[in-house]
Structure 1
Amino acid sequence: MHKKPNQFSVNGKVMNRPSINWEDTRVFLAIAREGTLSGAAKQLTVGIATISRRLERLESSLQIRLFTRDQQGYTLTDEGRDLISPAEALEQAGMAFGEAAYRNHDQVKGHVRLATAQGLADYLITPALPKLIADHPMLTLEIVTSVATTNLHRRDADIALRMVRPDRGNVSIRQLGLLGFGLYASHSYLTTRQNPSTSILSFEHDDFIGWSEMQQHLPAAQWLTKRVKGRPHRLTTTSLSAQISAVEAGIGMAILPHFIAKKRNLVCVQQELGCDQPIWLAIHSDLANSRRVRAVVDFLEGLIAENKVLLA
């Protein structure tokens, strides 16, 4: 005979499973262990009336008497004693379930896609990643670097740490810090300038490393355009790393982030250019409460705060 999920058979007879509130089994075990309603109520930190009501509900669902009551307290019936072992198994299963849920909740895992500027990725974020990985070994990270603005609304990335403020989309935005820029050259270039007697801030005969046509919207590119007054750059690139290499090779001067140039032992020819840019953190609003995203956001916030002076 085919049985439904809520049915079982005893001696060939199909019976309906009792509808049990599994929380009532904790009351059953507490009374069995304590011997009184008051003892069970204290153990479970609920009222005696609640204990009594739940016991009655359980006995009604099972349609058996679990305890005998007398002046000494509550004593298990034979039927009740038979249920101690399965009730304890249920208790252990519930504890294991809760512990597993807690471990899963406590552990950050998954994949996060971070869009950021190449300079921040190469010289700030990546060197600090070992700590993030050690804290969250189940987390994987993808870093996307490009000068173009990543569209979080299209889910191109989960998080963006950029110098360009997103102006649309369902995103949460805030400023974390400021990235300072200066005009830098190598020691070798400065010793061989075409007109060393000229003031160091006169750039009429200097060579510059600039950005390609696609990056002319950048503050650094606009500053150079005004300074060279139509003269071609000695070299144009599409990446910050290429500009740093060119400056180190003595090809010319370039506008670089202070925190990178100083690490490369380059000389700051002019510090205040008006090219400083805010560092914006943007998160897709639907992901603001995601544990994996939150872990990376906390890491980035701490990293920017720790290096705030160096960056600016």
Structure 2
Amino acid sequence: MSTPNLDWNDIPLLLALARAGSMSSAARDLGVDVSTISRRVAAVEAAMGTRLFIRSNRGYEPTDAGTVFIAHAERALGQVQALQAETRAEGEGISGRVRLTAVNVLFDHWLLEHLPALLQRHPKLDVQLLTDNSNLSFTRREADFALRLAQPTQDAAILMRKVGEIGFTVFGAGPYAALPPEQWDTQPWLSYGEELDALPEMRWLAQRQGLRRVLRVSNVTTLAHACAMGMGLAVLPCIVGSRQGLRPLCAPVLTRELWLLSHRDAARIKRFRAVADWLGELFESEAAVLRGDVDRP
């Protein structure tokens, strides 16, 4: 009996099942019926001659063979998508969609004000900003560039380089706008919640024993607003405090590395190369501002 051939159109379905963990979720993500997912998984397993998924209490999970299949399928699909994107880009010039992901503090308090210059230089670009700090897949083109406030784990498929540093310092407003460091320990402090204790700025606070924390929040924007209302002192990125009307009470107390990530193939595509060049120029010209060494204009 001859072995059925693998239908390459089934690969996205199996990748969706591997990501979602359930046929209903995968079907919903792809806009197809559950029966279609089930039928195509069975067809691929027949073509491969082995089980690729097993059903457990946690949903559908890849077998050992399935894990190997998914890894190769992701690379193959990514290469096909890169081929299509690269071919179109070379034919169209610098145009098309570019997805950039970062934490919102970089978008809201720094990058957005510079984006008009990029779009003026390349008006046919379609820039998509994704506020996300999770590990999106470059292979599946979930993101084209990512900005991260820490050195990522090494990945052979990802090109990563340090592009700058973000400075943090102590800010105050109202009655706290001119306090010298020797008076800080007796003042009310604002910070993130305990779920963010691992952040460098939270570790800096933890080193100061006995601080009285009166408010904990979950994001930097709320923290900056509370500080600007005169509720207490806060450690904030220098680029945030300077735009909130807050007064820095000292030089930066710590810095965090800023890393730019992209797929290694991105440099071969015109629009990605153009954005990477623009980002490089921007980080170089804004280095002192990002570190907090100079005031923002």
Q: What range is the shorter-chain TM-score in?
A: 0.5 to 0.7
Which structure 1 segments of 5+ residues have no match? 1-100
Cα separation, 2, equivalents of 1:238 and 1:156? 25
State the shift of 1:165 in Å.
1.5
Cα separation, 2, equivalents of 1:298 and 1:103? 16
- Counterpart of 1:85? none
State the shift of 1:247 in Å.
0.9
Q: Where has structure 1 moved over 6 Å in runs of 4 or more?
A: none
Render the CA deviation track for 1:106-153: whole Å, top value 9, x for unaligned: 621121111113222112211111121122222111112245555545
Cα separation, 2, equivalents of 1:281 and 1:187? 37
Taking structure 1 as the reference length, the TM-score comes to 0.58
State the shift of 1:102 in Å.
12
Cα separation, 2, equivalents of 1:249 and 1:296? 38
Asked if the contact 1:183/1:256 (under 8 Å) is kept, the reply is yes
Higher Rg: 1
1:258 paired residue among 233, 238, 247: 238
Cα separation, 1, equivalents of 2:218 and 2:163? 26
2:263 is the alignment partner of 1:284:
yes
Give the secondary structure class of the aligned counterpart of 2:268: coil
- Counterpart of 1:107? 93
State the shift of 1:156 in Å.
3.7
Asked if the contact 1:210/1:237 (under 8 Å) is kept, the reply is yes
2:291 is the alignment partner of 1:304:
no
- Counterpart of 1:162? 148
Cα separation, 1, equivalents of 2:183 and 2:140? 46
State the shift of 1:182 in Å.
0.6
One-letter amino acid of the structure 1 residue matched with residue 281 of structure 2: G
Asked if the contact 2:89/2:96 (under 8 Å) is kept, the reply is no
- Counterpart of 2:40? none
2:162 is the alignment partner of 1:183:
no
Give the secondary structure class of the aligned counterpart of 2:242: helix
State the shift of 1:154 in Å.
5.8
Cα separation, 1, equivalents of 2:136 and 2:197? 18
One-letter amino acid of the structure 1 residue matched with residue 260 of structure 2: L
- Counterpart of 2:248? 268
Judged with a 3 Å threshold, the aligned counterparts in structure 2 of structure 1 residues 102 and 115 are, in CA distance, closer, same or farther, namely closer
Judged with a 3 Å threshold, the aligned counterparts in structure 2 of structure 1 residues 148 and 134 are, in CA distance, closer, same or farther, namely same
Judged with a 3 Å threshold, the aligned counterparts in structure 2 of structure 1 residues 311 and 154 are, in CA distance, closer, same or farther, namely same
2:104 paired residue among 118, 125, 142: 118
Taking structure 2 as the reference length, the TM-score comes to 0.61
State the shift of 1:264 in Å.
3.0
Aligned residues: 204
Judged with a 3 Å threshold, the aligned counterparts in structure 2 of structure 1 residues 187 and 285 are, in CA distance, closer, same or farther, namely same
* RMSD of aligned alpha carbons: 2.6
- Counterpart of 1:206? 187
State the shift of 1:259 in Å.
2.8
Identity of aligned residues (%): 26
Cα separation, 2, equivalents of 1:153 and 1:106? 22
Give the secondary structure class of the aligned counterpart of 1:246: helix
